[in-house]
Amino acid sequence: MKTALELNAPEMVTNRALLHWLSDIVELTKPKDIYWCNGTQTEWYELSRMLIDQGVMTPLNPELRPDSFLVRSDPNDVARVEDRTFICSVNEADAGPTNNWRDPDLMNEELRTLFDGSMRGRTMYVVPFSMGPLGGPISQVGIQLTDSPYAVLNMRIMTRMGFDVLRLIDNETNWVPAVHSVGMPLEDVFGNTIEDVPWPSNPTKYICHFPETREIWSFGSGYGGNALLSKKCFALRIGSFMGKQEGWLAEHMLLLKLTNPQGKAYHVAAAFPSACGKTNLAMITPTIPGWTAETIGDDIAWLRPGKDGRLYAINPEAGFFGVAPGTGFGTNEVAMNTMWGNTIFTNVALTDDGDVWWEGMTDKVPEHLIDWRGEDWTPSSGRPAAHPNSRFTVPVEQCPTLSNDWFENAGVPIDAIIFGGRRATNVPLVAQAFDWKHGVFMGATMSSEQTAAAEGTVGDLRRDPFAMLPFCGYNMADYWGHWLDIGRKLGKNAPKIFQVNWFRKDDSGSFLWPGFGENSRVLEWICRRIDNSAKTYEAAIGLVPARGSLNLEGLEMPRGAMTKLFRVEPERWLAECDATAEYFSIFGDRLPVEMTKQLQALRRRLKTATL
Ligand code: OXD
Ligand code: MN
C-alpha cells in the first residue's frame, strides 16, 4: 500500500479506508501523478487555463459571457449510455427486470482489466464532494477519482467540492467511492507516448454500480451523467438504494417553492423524464398575478421523513446541467439569465462574435455559426447547429429565482408531489391521486415519449416509472414497495400526489395547452387542493378540476380545448390498463399486491364510466 505522502494526500485526510482505496486505484490505473482538488477559484482558473492551452475548451467572448467556455465532445460520446449502465447487485433479482444486471465479482474482474493502466500518462484528480449542504442531516459525501479535468470543472459547479469536504471525513464517516476514467491512456505498456485528443474517450463504455458496497465505476465516456458521477450514478442509482436501506427517497425530481398572493408558501417536488421541461418548470415565471415561484432544484431531490412526521427535501446538487436546445428567452428567461457567465457549454454552436447559440435560444437564427462538430453552419445546412443533447453547466447560485431554501441544511417540507410525462394522448392536464397508494400507482405507470437525453429513438413511447427507469439502483417493484412504506410511515402528513401532462395534442397534432408560464395555473390549482379549497370532479383516473375551478382568467383557449385536455376515454384507458398489466407481469412476485389492486380498481372505475 502506498503511503499518504506517496499519494500526495493533504494533512486533513485521516480516513484509512480512503487512503487504502486510493492506493489500490493508483496501483491499478497507474496515473503519472495525483492531484487533490481543493475547490478554490484559483484552482478553477488554473485548470481552465490548462484546458484552453490544450485546445480542449474555447473561451467565449468575455464581454458577452465572462469566464465561460465551449467544449466539443467526440461525436460518439454525446449522451448517457443506458445499455452500458449496469447494476451489479449480488442477486440478479435485486437489480430487477428494468436494469442491466451483472454479477459483481465478474464485473469487478472485467473492470480491473479495463482500468489496468487506463490513466497512464494522465493526472488522476481526487475530487471530494458533498451532495447537499456540508454536514447537513440529509447530505452525503463522496470521492470521485477521474482522469478528466473537464469532469473536475463540471463537478466543481455541480457539487460542493474541495477540501472542506475532506475535513468532514473521519474514520466513522460513510462516503461513496467513485472511479472514472475516460479510458484513453497517454502511454502504452512499453512507455511509448500516445497522442492526446481534445475529447478523449473509449468506444467501450461501462457505467457500473455496486449497490451493496455503494461503489461506482465508470469507464470510456467523458459526457454528462456518465462522467459526473455525483449526479445520476450517486444521487440517484446508489442514492435510491441507500434510501431503501435507510428509510428515505432519492428521486429524479425538481423542487419548487410557490408563494400565493397572501404570502403562504408551498413546496412541491416534481418528477419528469429527461428533457420534458423540468428545468423550465423549476424556473417558471407564473403568469397568474400575485404568485411567485422560486427555484430550489431542477433535477434531483432527496426526501426524508423529518422529526415532525413530514417529508423534507433537499436538492443535493449545486449546479444545473441543463439541456440547451429549447431553452430560450421566450421559454425560460430565468435559465438564460442564470448562464450570464461562469458557464461551461458542451456541444452547442459558436457564434461569429464568440458567444454560444442553439436551436430555440432566439427567434432569429444567426446567419453563420460553427456547429457542435466544429464545422461551418448556415440555416440552409439542413442539420442542427447544436447537438440535441447539448448542455450548459452553471452554478445554481447564479439563478435569479433561487430560493433561500436551497441553503437550508434540513431541507423544506414537501406539500405536493407531481408526476409528469410527455403524452400526446390520454393523460389529462392535471389529476389528483385519490390517496398516497393511488399516487404511487400513478408514478409507477408513468410513460413518456423518448427524448434525446439518452440514446434511443426519439418519439417512441416508453414506460418511465417515477421518471426513474434509467436511475433506480434496485428492483423497480421493490422501489414501489418502498414508496408504499414511506406513505404508511408519513400517514396523514403525507404530501398530496398529482399527475400532470403539458403535452397533450389535438387530432391535428397541435399542443392543446400553452405550457411554460401558464403551467402556473395548474400549480395554483394544486396549491388550492393542498388547502382543500379547489373543487374537484371525480374522474376514473383521479380527481380533476371541477368546471371553473382551474383559474383560466386572461387565457385565450381555443373552443373545446379544455374538454379535450381533460377527456378520459375509457376504451383507450382500458387498453392502457392491459399494457400496464403486461408491464407489471415482468416483475413477477416482487410486484407489491397493492399495485395489482390499484389496477383492478382503475379498471372498475373505467368500466363504470362506460355504463
Ligand atoms: C439529465 C437526464 O441529464 O435526466 O438530467 O438525462
Ligand atoms: Mn435528469
- Cα–Cα distance list, 169 to 16, 176, 389, 428 (Å): 10, 11, 36, 48
Q: Is residue 71 part of a domain?
A: no
57 CA distance to ligand 2 middle (Å): 24
Q: Which uninterrupted H or E stretch holds 448?
A: strand 447-449
> In the predicted model, is pLDDT for residue 288 greater than 70?
yes
Q: Is residue 177 part of a domain?
A: yes
pLDDT at res. 461? 75
Q: Which of 276, 399, 472, 527 is catalytic?
A: 276
Nearest CA to ligand 1 atom 1: 274
Q: Is residue 437 part of a domain?
A: yes
Characterise 117 by phi-psi region: left (phi > 0), alpha (psi -120 to 50), beta (else): left
Backbone angles phi, psi at 554, to 5 degrees: 85, 0
Q: Give the three cell numbers for residue 364.
A: 432569429
> In the predicted model, is pLDDT for residue 451 greater than 90?
no
* Ligand with the closest atom to the CA of 81: 1
Q: Which CATH number do you get for residue 371?
A: 2.170.8.10
Q: How confident is the model at residue 457 (pLDDT cuts 50, 70, 90)?
A: low
Average pLDDT over residues 46-60: 98
Q: Report whether residue 274 contacts ligand 1, using a CB cutoff of 6 Å.
A: yes
273 CA distance to ligand 2 middle (Å): 7
Please tell me whether residues 276 and 231 are part of one structural domain: no
Please tell me whether residues 371 and 477 are part of one structural domain: no
Q: Is residue 8 part of a domain?
A: no
Q: Which uninterrupted H or E stretch holds 394?
A: strand 391-395
Please tell me whether residues 325 and 412 are part of one structural domain: no
- CA torsion angle 503 504 506 507 (round to 10): 100
Average pLDDT over residues 245-261: 98
Please tell me whether residues 335 and 294 are part of one structural domain: no
Q: Which CATH number do you get for residue 535?
A: 3.90.228.20
Q: Tell which of 200, 219, 247 closes a domain.
A: 247
> In the predicted model, is pLDDT for residue 495 greater than 80?
yes
Please tell me the pTM assigned to this model.
0.96
Please tell me whether residues 338 and 280 are part of one structural domain: no
Judge whether 276 counts as a catalytic residue.
Answer: yes
275 CA distance to ligand 1 middle (Å): 7
Q: Is the dihedral of CA 500, 291, 283, 135 positive or negative?
A: negative
- Which residues make beta-bridge pairs with 483? none
Please tell me whether residues 255 and 294 are part of one structural domain: yes
Between CA 108 and CA 202 the distance in angstroms is 19
323 CA distance to ligand 1 middle (Å): 8
398 CA distance to ligand 2 middle (Å): 20
pLDDT digits (tens, 9 = 90+) for 152-174: 999 999 999 999 999 999 999 99
Please tell me whether residues 460 and 570 are part of one structural domain: yes
DSSP readout, 192-245? -B----SS---SS-EEEEETTTTEEEEES--SHHHH-TIIIIIIIIIHHHHHHH
Average pLDDT over residues 266-277: 91
pLDDT digits (tens, 9 = 90+) for 545-589: 999 999 999 999 999 999 999 999 999 999 999 999 999 999 999
- Cα–Cα distance list, 125 to 25, 68, 73 (Å): 12, 22, 20
Please tell me whether residues 467 and 591 are part of one structural domain: yes
Q: Is residue 4 part of a domain?
A: no
> In the predicted model, is pLDDT for residue 452 greater than 70?
no
Please tell me whether residues 375 and 487 are part of one structural domain: no
Q: Which uninterrupted H or E stretch holds 175?
A: strand 175-181
**Mean pLDDT over all residues of the chain?**
96
Between CA 517 and CA 421 the distance in angstroms is 17
Q: Report whether residue 453 contacts ligand 1, using a CB cutoff of 6 Å.
A: yes
Atom of ligand 1 nearest to the CA of 224: 3
Q: Tell which of 398, 415, 435 closes a domain.
A: 398
pLDDT digits (tens, 9 = 90+) for 352-409: 999 999 999 999 999 999 999 999 999 999 999 999 999 999 999 999 999 999 999 9
Q: Do residues 356 and 350 touch, judged by C-beta distance below 8 A?
A: yes
Atom of ligand 1 nearest to the CA of 299: 5
Please tell me whether residues 336 and 394 are part of one structural domain: yes
Q: Report whether residue 299 contacts ligand 1, using a CB cutoff of 6 Å.
A: yes
Q: Tell which of 381, 398, 415 closes a domain.
A: 398
- CA torsion angle 183 189 193 194 (round to 10): -30
Q: Which CATH number do you get for residue 208?
A: 3.40.449.10
Q: Is residue 3 part of a domain?
A: no
Nearest CA to ligand 1 atom 4: 274
Q: Is residue 67 part of a domain?
A: no
Q: How confident is the model at residue 410 (pLDDT cuts 50, 70, 90)?
A: very high
Q: Please count the CA atoms within 13 angstroms of the CA of 180 that sit on its side-chain side.
A: 30
Nearest CA to ligand 1 atom 2: 274
Q: Report whether residue 439 contacts ligand 1, using a CB cutoff of 6 Å.
A: no
Q: How many domains does the chain have?
A: 3
> Which range marks the domain in which residue 382 is found?
319-398
Cell 490505473, located at residue: 29
Please tell me whether residues 552 and 460 are part of one structural domain: yes
Tell me the residues surrounding ligand 2 (ion) with CB < 5 Å: 274, 299
Q: Is residue 1 part of a domain?
A: no
Average pLDDT over residues 148-155: 98
Q: Which uninterrupted H or E stretch holds 337?
A: helix 333-338
Q: Report the residue among 299, 346, 464 best suited for mutation to probe ligand 1: largest number of ligand atoms under 8 A from its CB.
A: 299
Of 138, 136, 156, the closest CA to residue 146 belongs to 156
Of 335, 331, 302, 332, the closest CA to residue 321 belongs to 335
Q: How confident is the model at residue 449 (pLDDT cuts 50, 70, 90)?
A: confident
Please tell me whether residues 43 and 30 are part of one structural domain: yes
